[in-house]
Amino acid sequence: MCVEHVGAVIKPAGKKCPPPKKLESAGTPGVGKSTLCEQLAERTGLEWLEVGQIAKDCECFEEYDEVYQCPVLDEDKLIDEMEDKMGHGGKIVDYHGCDFFPERWFDIVFVLRANNTVLYDRLAHRGYTGKKLEDNVQCEIFQTILEEAQGAYRPDIVHELPSNTPDDMEENLDKITTWVEEWKMRALTYFPPSGESLVTHWVEGSIGRRTACVDKGRNFPPQLGISVV
């Protein structure tokens, strides 16, 4: 994996809440992951962690890829460096890949998708050329990131979001911000039935119609993880 390809991950702060909930958003380079995560951090007050910068600071590289002109990520070392940060919550982790991150880090996975023509123009504007440009567009055509997410996480937490226009971006921001705020409230008073998740009810639009079940002696601030990759 090349560190240059950036996406994102999010996780709100607080003590442990059974079960801890997290989110991930994935997508091919150029679909708008970093822009989305930066604005989510501004709206929600969560801390945005740029995985590419963490990898550089901690030297989480194996070698340099001459074809793609970028370092090759040492995934195991990176996960070790991030483990403590992710355990505390309140973070937005920004990276393009998702399948190597531990499933326990996330509660919901958003895969950002872009039209091939839109993506091509965005990547060309970034200076992508030749094989690097072609491979990334093909990655989107063949839904590589989506299939990786579906293979790495439970099917019920993986969701696609269109990311072609400013209106798409704004709608995605509104949806995820609303989810974060509802999670903060519901995590204090609501425990889904066994085998179900808070995420599932939110996506189905039924979260507000279920009876809250809470032990009044236990106050669980939200612990949430969102990955945009």
pLDDT at 55: 92
Average pLDDT, the chain: 76
- Separation of alpha carbons 161 and 56, rounded Å: 29
pLDDT interval class at 155 (50, 70, 90): confident
What is the pLDDT averaged over residues 35-53? 87
Report the predicted TM-score, pTM, of the whole model to 2 decimal places: 0.74
In 10 A of CB 84, how many CB atoms? 8
- Per-residue pLDDT, averaged over 29-53, amounts to 87
Give 137 or 49, the one with higher predicted confidence.
137
Which residue is associated with the tokens 């989305």? 36
Per residue in 101-146, pLDDT (tens digit) is: 998 888 777 888 999 999 999 999 999 999 999 999 999 999 998 9
pLDDT of residue 3: 30
State the average pLDDT over residues 206-222.
34
Per-residue pLDDT at 224: 67
Mean pLDDT of all residues in 9-13 = 37
Cβ contact 9:101 at 8 Å: yes
Residue 165, pLDDT > 90, answer yes
- In whole angstroms, what is the distance from residue 172 CA to residue 200 CA? 17
| Distance between CA atoms of residues 160 and 47, nearest Å | 24
Mean pLDDT lowest for which of 24-28, 121-125, 131-135, 148-152?
Answer: 24-28
Candidate from 58-67, 177-186, 202-211 with smallest mean pLDDT: 202-211
Look at residue 219 in the predicted model and tell me its pLDDT.
35
Question: What does the alpha-carbon distance between residue 94 and residue 82 come to, in Å, rounded to a whole number?
Answer: 12
- Select the more confidently predicted residue: 171 or 227: 171
Q: Could you tell me the fold of the domain covering 9-228?
A: Rossmann fold (3.40.50)
Tokens of 131: 């094989």
Written in H, E and C, the secondary structure of the chain is CECCCCCCEEECCCCCCCCCCCEEEECCCCCCHHHHHHHHHHHHCCEEEEHHHHHHHCCCEEEEECCCCEEEECHHHHHHHHHHHHHHCCEEEECCCCCCCCHHHCCEEEEEECCHHHHHHHHHHHCCCHHHHHHHHHHHHCCHHHHHHHHHCCHHHEEEEECCCHHHHHHHHHHHHHHHHHHHHHHHHCCCCCCCCHHHHHHHCCHHHCCCCCCCCCCCCCCCCEEEC
Annotated binding-site members for ATP = 30, 32-35, 126
d(CA 43, CA 192): 27
pLDDT at 193 over 90: no
Residue scoring higher pLDDT (7 or 94): 94
Is the preceding peptide bond at 192 cis, omega within 30 degrees of 0? no
Predicted local distance difference test score (pLDDT) of residue 12: 37
